[in-house]
Homo-oligomer: A and B are copies of this chain.
């Protein structure tokens, strides 16, 4: 990080710290679920992006905010499948997850990406604990569609384990595998899991760090970014098709979250350095915020 010391005078520095007061005070003791996309870990700047993200998590935790990290890992799963010579099978455009694919997904999500995030945070101190939804059975899942194999939907989230870890001052990092009563594991969409956890633990905010600038009124025009909209307005945009494609799970999770007690859901551009920090601790937004009303 470029030192700001030589360029910013003491008074301005003090001012920036002092401006953060109302935000720090408002959110201290509040839990915030942050979905960190697998895309962010899949490029030239992977190490930098992860390190900057980890620093933000630690800063938020330092000032009493309680972050929970949820992550996916689609691209990385594909890479390992390919290396293992596993040919993906599709049905109605959706990938079929057979037992071996599930094993691969679980190894990548729980054994690789989750570990990398935990490690990046713990450089700053022993804060992060990796979890899969199978741990203490905290995410209960069911098959979405038997013909798709072990692709699951969330049926319940038990907040006890996460709440206990948070109470010990730790930062849970969640890989989005769930299991059913028979012990069968399922791979679940990470956006959906992030929303379900935010609801279950009465989270203050739900934040999606994505690789887009936010919700656009005109997808071809970045200047049409919507900075703030209500749940009803977002529902309208979905109906009209203005919000679509890959944004649907995020938008649906935002809608459900703010209608079930979460005070704000954010879709941010994770490519901006310290996006989460700036969104939470300063007045300027760097994406779209969905509010209950």
A residues within 8 Å of B by Cβ?
1-5, 7-8, 10-21, 24-25, 28, 55-56, 58-59, 62-64, 83-84, 103, 106-112, 114-115, 118-120, 122-132, 134-138, 158, 160-161, 164, 168, 170, 177, 179, 181-183, 185, 272-274, 277-278, 281-284, 286
Known contacts A134-B122, A161-B129; is-contact A21 B115 (Cβ 8 Å): no
Report how far A245 CA is from B277 CA in the complex, Å: 48
Known: A17-B281, A107-B111. 20 other contacts (CB 8 A): A4-B19, A5-B283, A8-B12, A13-B16, A14-B274, A16-B16, A16-B17, A17-B17, A25-B58, A106-B115, A110-B110, A110-B130, A111-B112, A115-B134, A115-B177, A118-B132, A122-B137, A129-B135, A130-B132, A160-B168
Pairs A–B under 8 Å by Cβ, sample size 6: A24-B63, A63-B64, A64-B64, A107-B111, A115-B185, A123-B182
- B contact residues around A2 at 8 Å (CB): 11-12, 15
B158 touches A126 (CB 8 A): yes
Give the most central of A18, A114, A274: most B CB within 10 Å.
Answer: A18
Q: Which residues of B contact A21 (CB under 8 A)?
A: 55, 58-59, 62, 124
Cα–Cα, bound, A21→B114 (Å): 24
Residue of B nearest to A273 (CB): B11
Closest CB in chain B relative to A174 CB, distance in Å: 12
Instruction: Name the distance in Å between A29's Cβ and chain B's nearest Cβ.
Output: 11
Q: Are A24 and B135 in contact (CB under 8 A)?
A: no
Task: Tell me, in angstroms, the Cα distance from A132 to B110 when the chains sit together.
Answer: 10
Docked CA distance A136–B130 (Å): 9
Q: How many Å lie between the Cα of A21 and that of B120 in the bound state? A: 16
